[in-house]
Amino acid sequence: MKYKSEIEKRRTFAIISHPDAGKTTLTEKFLLFGGAIQTAGAVKSNKIRKHATSDFMEIERQRGISVATSVMSFEYKNMLINLLDTPGHKDFAEDTYRTLTAVDSVILVIDSVNGVEEQTRKLTSVCRMRDTPVIVFINKMDRDGKNRFELLEEIEKELNLKLHPMTWPINSGKDFKGVYNLHDKNLILFTANTHAPDEDVVKIGDLASPVLDEKLGEKDATLLKEDVELVDGVYGPLNTEEYLQGKIAPVFFGSAINNFGVREMLDSFIQIAPVPQCRPTTEGEVCPGDEKLSGFVFKIHANLDPRHRDRIAFIRVCSGRFERNKYFHHVRLNKEVRFSNPYTFLAREKDVIEEAYPGDVVGLFDTGNFKIGDTLTEGKNFYFTGIPSFSPEIFKEVVNKDPMKTKQLEKGLLQLTDEGVAQLFTQFGGNKKIIGCVGELQFEVIQYRLLHEYSASVQFNNLPFFKACWLTSSNHKKLAEFARFKQNNIAEDKDGQMVYLAQSEWFLNTEISNNPDIIFHYTSEIHK
């Protein structure tokens, strides 16, 4: 009975958005409501040194952006909430895509000034592919932005999302007066710079109440009545089942920086958001109610605490009960492993736990045993499917600027590329190290972290490659022959798998048609 109730009290979700939409600020307000932090950090202010709780890496503090997924757990109204704050920057979309496989629902933050942006489209399309339930938070209502009806229409059209307003704004920008809660039928008045989680809530039994005119003024009260009548007529009550199926997205309006409109969303979230869900595996679905433990690694982070050079593998528990010091089966390595110090996280702060349940994200101290996508079970051999892997699009040679630090450089390259945001290749028959990434910013982060976490100084030289393809063939002679003829374009990945680095799409297509005995794979997933 306890096992079932533990599952039912858990909610695991990610916050996603385009950069600068206010995602990290919203994360902090959630933590404030959950009592996990006492003061909100000032994001992107160089004058204020209280930085965002979830942006723990030094480079994130300097750039004012999130470049790694942060994992945070907190309690709110007897619910245990596992919140994953993801990077907004497009160069780190891989980390976000993988994180979306580890959550049961998503909160999408949209900037009311800029509306739907490029990264919003990409991330939402991943949610649509998986039918992940989405709640939309339209942020920065205290700034002059788009008309509320036009904004809803834009979101529905651009993101292919059917929306359902749960709160409704009264004006915007300098005239923003608050929101009307369409579900609870009350008025929440806006006050700027609200750091305490208290809001001025006015109970209104009926929109005809004279209190409305008194609080808003006759003009705004009349407009609100017209808006609410229109919205109620179009949308009606929320169909929770359709939300859980990913067909409808509830919408809330507010201002995260002012801690406004957040409580209403959080209260609705814990009521309607899904409990931990079933997950697809190579042996069929695994569900939270299954007694035997299973879980998968969706993220690895080196040097979470720079003083201890630790490496943490983040595992999403999918079924059964995870227990400290109990032996579990590492499927890929086919060996039994146990963990004496499993952690839960509040950004950089971590606490040792005795047990964890489906929906929980556990940090495991790792000495190099784990890779993204690895599965832990209680004896069975299967893998969780649908964890994405990407072919790099930008390639650079790693040049060591300090030969005295060669060992530190090699260790740093191995550990940082294990995190999944970049891939490491060694040129065939030589020692040239090549890093492959999806975006330019990743190289900047790797260079910074190599220097500050491993004391290794490097420069990156551009290489003229367009795509990496993993090679397999039942004809080993043909494969060896191809590697010999094309050795300038052949490399090995960290697992010793052969990779062809194509200069252009034309070269790649030519090699594919000239070598029918060789299969060119666009990701390394084949080697599972």
Report pTM.
0.78
Residues 157 and 401: their CA atoms lie apart, in Å, by: 51
Q: Are residues 261 and 286 in the same domain?
A: no
522 to 197, 335, 391, 471, 525: CA distances (angstroms): 48, 29, 6, 9, 9
User: Do 360 and 432 lie in a common domain?
Assistant: no
Q: Is the pLDDT of residue 30 over 70?
A: yes
The CATH number for 323's domain is: 3.40.50.300
User: Looking at the structure, do residues 406 and 367 belong to the same domain, yes or no?
Assistant: no
Among the listed residues 110, 74, 132, the one whose alpha carbon sits nearest the alpha carbon of residue 84: 74
Any domain includes 383: no
* DSSP sequence for 131-167: T--EEEEEE-TTS----HHHHHHHHHHHHT-EEEESE
268 and 304 housed in the same domain? no
One-letter amino acid of 336: E
Percent share of the chain, pLDDT over 70? 86
Residue 465 in any domain: the answer is yes
CATH code, 523: 3.30.70.3280
Grade residue 227 by pLDDT with cuts at 50, 70 and 90. Answer: very high
Parent domain of 418: 394-527
Q: Which residues pair with 288 in a beta bridge?
A: none
* Residue 74 pLDDT > 70: yes
Write out pLDDT tens, residues 479-490.
999 999 998 899
* Residue environment code for 256-269, b if the CB has 16+ CB neighbours within 10 A, otherwise e: bbbbbbbbbbbbbb
On whether both 358 and 401 belong to a single domain, the answer is no
Domain boundary among 349, 377, 405: 377
More confident residue, 524 or 157: 157
Same domain, 445 and 371: no
State the DSSP H helix or E strand holding residue 284, giving kind and residue range, or none if neither.
strand 284-286
- Establish if 183 belongs to a structural domain: no
Tell me: do 247 and 360 sit in the same domain.
Answer: no
Of 377, 403, 429, the residue that ends a domain is 377
Q: Please give the pLDDT value at position 206.
A: 76
320 neighbors 290 (Cβ within 8 angstroms): yes
Q: Which residues of 11-40 are buried (b: 16+ CB within 10 A; e: fewer)?
A: bbbbbbbbbbbbbbbbbbbbbbbbebbeeb
58-67, 247-256, 330-339, 350-359: least confidently modelled range = 58-67
Does 23 share its domain with 62? yes
List all residues 6 or more positions away from 394 whose beta carbon is below 8 Å from its beta carbon: 436, 437, 438, 439, 440, 443
Give the count of domains, the chain. Answer: 3
Q: pLDDT digit string (tens) for 188-202?
A: 888 876 555 556 777
Smallest Cα–Cα separation from 255: which of 86, 113, 134? 113
Q: Is residue 197 part of a domain?
A: no
| Residue written as token pair 């990434």 | 437
Structural domain contains residue 29: yes
**Residue that terminates a domain, selected from 324, 352, 377:** 377
pLDDT in tens, 235-257: 888 999 999 999 999 999 999 98
Same domain, 119 and 251: yes
The answer to whether residue 55 is domain-embedded is yes
Give the other-Cβ count within 10 Å of 102's Cβ.
27
Over the stretch 90-134, which tens digit does the pLDDT of each residue have? 555 566 777 888 999 999 999 999 999 887 888 888 788 889 999
Based on the domain organization, do 364 and 422 belong to the same domain? no
Whether residue 116 sits in one domain with residue 96: yes
Q: Check whether residue 268 and residue 283 sit in a common domain.
A: no
Query: Does 386 reside within a domain?
Result: no
